[in-house]
């Protein structure tokens, strides 16, 4: 049996697509192995959102070929879609595909194994018409949380962003199909599903059905049995219309956790980025959301060192981010992407200044995350447990040794579990062997840099 190993870089959409391909290769008779052991086929699903993502993608490609110089290395996704020549030029690559026709990969691999030449089938996107490539959901996802991609592509063309070139136009999985997958996910015993998309807030906008939208999808999704939590991957600030706000505010199965990319807290920079909102719009959105959703976690993406960002703009950004009180922050140093408008802008920010701003912004993000954690101490939340932390991995252990020893005496095997609250706080607690995939009420007692420690009340 041929062994195939997969590696994903980038976003949750990429993660979903890799999992789906794993399922297809399983059906084709491949044995799926970890990336890191010798395999006959390596599939690398790349990201190209920054030059750092490109570099990591290339490093992974080289690593694969080192693991087995005889193996077939297939490179797929955003990087070859945007820059096929760079991928073609890499001697380690045997086959590459962009972000279209991924389902043809098993056939291409077979043909290549029969000795055909390096294949690179990339056509650029026509923003007038491309179909949603339905990639089946894989039941055997290795997590307690299921992911489902319901939307692809973006038509916004923010000045820095290569994603519209990498992913093509907006397109959505038809509503009924999405709901069918959710029913399957519920039947398979997953308690939580993460809905993903490149521009998820515009789900359904490409459909003939005028009623089709993320809000209508969610209204139906919450009725599905088995699924207890629905999480949304990322929503653009401008996409919260009244109906979506109303549906999200109803709470229930919808997790009080939203990722709303801000990019900059300075209006001059936001307009150069061609973002469609300003800071007062954003602040008022957060007020509305927080006013109607208890314990809401709002996380965000921030870019530093955009061309033309002077110290005063950066200070505005820092100040605004602080006011937004994010629960966590992803900080990116601006990276010019060929083919985008901002790549032609003058007044670049020096790398050392970018670096310094990035460090300051990351530190602020950590401070805000800590404040958010602290607000939850002493309170009890339902936690969906996902992973067991091995006793031996607890070098950074918070759990006092006496506590573990006591547990060891009682049960013979102290088990520390890790999971998430609805508002995405990472929690660790001593648990029972059967806690994987279970929701337990946990009182949060102590804060650590990346998680809160807690226990079952009483």
Q: Name the site residues for ligand 5AD (rule: CB under 6 A).
A: 49-50, 160-161, 261, 263, 301, 303, 332, 334-335, 337
Q: Which of 19, 3, 12, 44 is nearest to 139 (CA)?
A: 19
- Kindly write out the interface string for residues 146-175 of this chain, putting x where it contacts ligand SF4 by CB under 6 A and - elsewhere: -----------------x--xx--------
The residue from 78, 122, 248, 260 that contacts ligand SF4 (CB under 6 A) is 78
Q: Which helix (H) or strand (E) holds 387?
A: strand 380-389
DSSP structure class, residue 30: P
Cβ(294)–Cβ(254) below 8 Å: no
Nearer Cβ to ligand 5AD, position 168 or 414? 168
| DSSP-based three-state secondary structure for 276 | coil
Scored b (16 or more CB within 10 A) or e, 12-22 reads bbbbbbbbbbb
Residue 166 contact, options ligand SF4, ligand 5AD, none, Cβ 5-8 Å cut-off depending on partner type: ligand SF4
Residue 13 contact, options ligand 5AD, ligand SF4, none, Cβ 5-8 Å cut-off depending on partner type: ligand SF4
| DSSP-based three-state secondary structure for 35 | strand
Strand 72-77 relative to strand 95-97, pairing:
parallel
Strand 229-232 relative to strand 439-448, pairing:
unpaired
What minimum distance in Å lies between the beta carbon of 169 and ligand 5AD?
18
What minimum distance in Å lies between the beta carbon of 50 and ligand 5AD?
5
Does the protein bind ligand SF4 through residue 47 (CB under 6 A)? yes
Q: Which of 348, 349, 384 is nearest to 255 (CA)?
A: 384
Residue 421 contact, options ligand 5AD, ligand SF4, none, Cβ 5-8 Å cut-off depending on partner type: none
Q: Which of 424, 421, 429, 422 is nearest to 445 (CA)?
A: 429
Q: Which helix (H) or strand (E) holds 442?
A: strand 439-448
Does the protein bind ligand SF4 through residue 135 (CB under 6 A)? no
| Alpha-carbon distance values, 354 to 263, 271, 275, 320 (Å) | 14, 20, 21, 18
What minimum distance in Å lies between the beta carbon of 268 and ligand 5AD?
18
Nearer Cβ to ligand 5AD, position 35 or 157? 157
- The CA distance from 81 to 122, in Å, is 6
Does the protein bind ligand SF4 through residue 262 (CB under 6 A)? no
Q: Which of 281, 350, 257 is nearest to 311 (CA)?
A: 350
What minimum distance in Å lies between the beta carbon of 211 and ligand 5AD?
29
Residue 224 contact, options ligand 5AD, ligand SF4, none, Cβ 5-8 Å cut-off depending on partner type: none
Nearer Cβ to ligand SF4, position 6 or 451? 6
- The CA distance from 222 to 199, in Å, is 21
Nearer Cβ to ligand 5AD, position 191 or 333? 333
Does the protein bind ligand SF4 through residue 11 (CB under 6 A)? yes
What minimum distance in Å lies between the beta carbon of 125 and ligand SF4?
13
Nearer Cβ to ligand SF4, position 253 or 337? 337
User: Which chain residues interact with ligand SF4 by CB under 6 A?
Assistant: 10-11, 13-14, 47-49, 53, 78, 163, 166-167, 198
């Amino acid at each position: 049996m041929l062994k195939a190993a997969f590696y994903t870089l980038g976003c949750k959409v990429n993660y979903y697509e890799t999992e789906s391909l794993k399922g297809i290769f399983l059906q084709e008779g491949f044995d799926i192995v970890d990336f890191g052991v010798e395999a006959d086929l390596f599939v690398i699903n790349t990201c190209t959102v920054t030059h750092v993502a490109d570099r990591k993608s290339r490093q992974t490609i080289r690593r694969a070929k080192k693991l087995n110089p005889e193996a077939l290395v297939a490179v797929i996704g955003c990087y070859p879609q945007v820059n096929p020549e760079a991928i073609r030029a890499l001697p380690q690559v045997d086959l590459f595909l962009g972000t279209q026709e991924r389902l043809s990969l098993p056939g291409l691999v077979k043909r290549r194994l029969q000795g055909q030449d390096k294949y690179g089938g990339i056509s650029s996107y026509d923003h007038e018409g491309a179909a949603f490539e339905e990639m089946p959901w894989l039941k055997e996802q290795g997590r307690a949380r299921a992911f489902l991609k319901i939307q692809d592509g973006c038509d916004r063309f923010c000045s820095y962003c290569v994603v519209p070139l990498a992913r093509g136009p907006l397109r959505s999985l038809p509503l009924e199909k999405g709901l069918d997958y959710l029913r399957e996910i519920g039947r398979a015993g997953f308690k939580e599903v993460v809905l993903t998309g490149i521009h998820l807030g515009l789900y359904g906008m490409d459909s003939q059905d005028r009623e089709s939208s993320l809000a209508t999808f969610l209204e139906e999704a919450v009725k599905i049995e088995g699924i207890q939590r629905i999480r949304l991957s990322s929503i653009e600030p401008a996409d919260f219309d009244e109906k979506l706000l109303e549906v999200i505010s109803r709470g229930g199965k919808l997790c009080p956790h939203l990722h709303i990319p801000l990019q900059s807290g300075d209006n001059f920079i936001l307009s150069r980025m061609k973002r469609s909102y300003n800071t007062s719009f954003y602040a008022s959105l957060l007020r509305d959301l927080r006013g109607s959703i208890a314990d809401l976690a709002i996380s965000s993406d921030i870019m530093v060192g955009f061309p033309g960002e002077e110290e005063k703009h950066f200070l505005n950004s820092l100040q605004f981010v602080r006011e937004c009180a994010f629960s966590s922050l992803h900080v990116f140093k601006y990276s010019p992407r060929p083919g985008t408008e901002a790549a032609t802008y003058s007044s670049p920010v020096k790398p050392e200044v970018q670096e310094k701003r990035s460090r300051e912004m990351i530190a602020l993000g950590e401070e805000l995350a800590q404040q958010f954690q602290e607000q939850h101490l002493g309170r009890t939340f339902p936690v969906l447990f996902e992973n067991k932390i091995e006793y031996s991995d607890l070098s950074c252990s918070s759990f006092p040794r006496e506590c573990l020893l006591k547990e060891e005496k009682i049960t013979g095997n102290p088990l520390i579990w890790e999971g998430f609250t609805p508002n995405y706080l990472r929690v660790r607690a001593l648990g029972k062997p059967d806690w994987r995939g279970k929701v337990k009420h946990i009182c949060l007692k102590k804060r650590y840099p990346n998680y809160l420690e807690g226990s079952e009340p009483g």
